[in-house]
């Protein structure tokens, strides 16, 4: 009994330390961005926080990097969005930055540790939204090749993240193919990037390509989930996601909503 009490006590202490360290990481990211006025120190802190990826034999580095890529995409994307939220004369800039920090802390504490199939799909969706939103908001003057590679990496990493949860035998091939789809759409979006300002944070804009990639990924995930469960893609499983995706794409591409080009005031 004494041994069990010691184990419980250690588990409680470990859980408390885990929570404090993650809260500290989120807070330090915000503070470093506010103090320096740039995202570079915060990005460095994010990289340093992933030291455990390399705390194994070198032959396992690539595998650990792949498995942690979704978290790194969300972390780096959040840092960039926090930085962009502060690049405004509006009074709510700090409020938006704090709100993003709180959301990042919730990601670290509640969503990231979950391992259920649906939770993993949500993790991938968050990475797609945050990653592409941050990337397209800062890469309008980058070489197109870098943007295409970055978008491919987001697509590959998020597809792999979902496929691993299903123990897919062709995981690598399917992830590469989905990354290629992302890269093609990313290349088109680089030459025609428009975005929609958020009403509560006009300094942040949601690129059109973010909505397109997120909706297509949602449809693909529902189709794949149906195939894994029934060994065929059932129409009843994908009809609503398909209608949602088609309607969203039609609204985005055929209507003139309030939007602006990335990189404009």
pTM of the full structure: 0.92
Question: What is the pLDDT, as a whole number, of residue 243?
Answer: 96
Q: Cα 152 to the chain's mean position, in Å? A: 13
Mean pLDDT, the chain, rounded, equals: 89
pLDDT in tens, 173-212: 999 999 999 999 999 999 887 888 888 887 899 999 999 9
Please give, one letter per residue, the 3-state secondary structure of 118-178.
HHHHHHHHHHHHHHHHHHHHHCCCCCHHHHHHHHHHHHHHHHHHHHHHCCCCCHHHHHHHH
Mean pLDDT over residues 241-255, rounded?
A: 90
Question: What is the pLDDT, as a whole number, of residue 16?
Answer: 83
Residue with tokens 């989120």: 26
Sign of CA dihedral 114, 115, 120, 123: positive
């Amino acid at each position: 009994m004494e041994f069990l009490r010691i184990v419980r006590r250690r588990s409680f202490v470990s859980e408390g330390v885990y929570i404090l360290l993650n809260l500290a990481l989120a807070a330090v990211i915000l503070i470093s961005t506010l103090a320096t006025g740039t995202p570079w120190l915060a990005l460095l802190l994010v990289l340093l926080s992933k030291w455990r990826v390399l705390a194994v034999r070198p032959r396992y580095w690539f595998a650990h990097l792949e498995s942690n890529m979704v978290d790194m995409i969300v972390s780096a994307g959040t840092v960039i969005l926090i930085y962009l939220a502060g690049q405004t004369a509006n009074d709510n800039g700090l409020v938006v930055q704090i709100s993003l920090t709180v959301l990042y802390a919730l990601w670290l504490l509640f969503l990231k540790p979950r391992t259920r199939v649906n939770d993993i799909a949500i993790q991938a969706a968050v990475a797609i939204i945050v990653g592409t939103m941050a990337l397209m908001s800062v890469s309008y003057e980058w070489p197109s090749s870098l943007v295409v590679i970055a978008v491919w990496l987001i697509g590959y990493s998020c597809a792999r993240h979902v496929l691993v949860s299903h123990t897919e035998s062709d995981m690598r091939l399917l992830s590469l193919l989905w990354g290629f789809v992302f890269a093609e759409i990313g290349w088109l979006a680089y030459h025609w990037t428009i975005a929609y300002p958020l009403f509560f944070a006009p300094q942040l804009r949601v690129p059109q390509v973010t909505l397109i990639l997120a909706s297509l990924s949602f449809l693909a995930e529902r189709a794949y989930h149906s195939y894994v469960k029934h060994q065929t893609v059932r129409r009843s499983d994908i009809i609503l996601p398909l209608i949602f995706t088609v309607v969203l794409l039609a609204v985005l591409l055929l209507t003139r909503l309030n939007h602006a080009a990335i990189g404009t005031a």
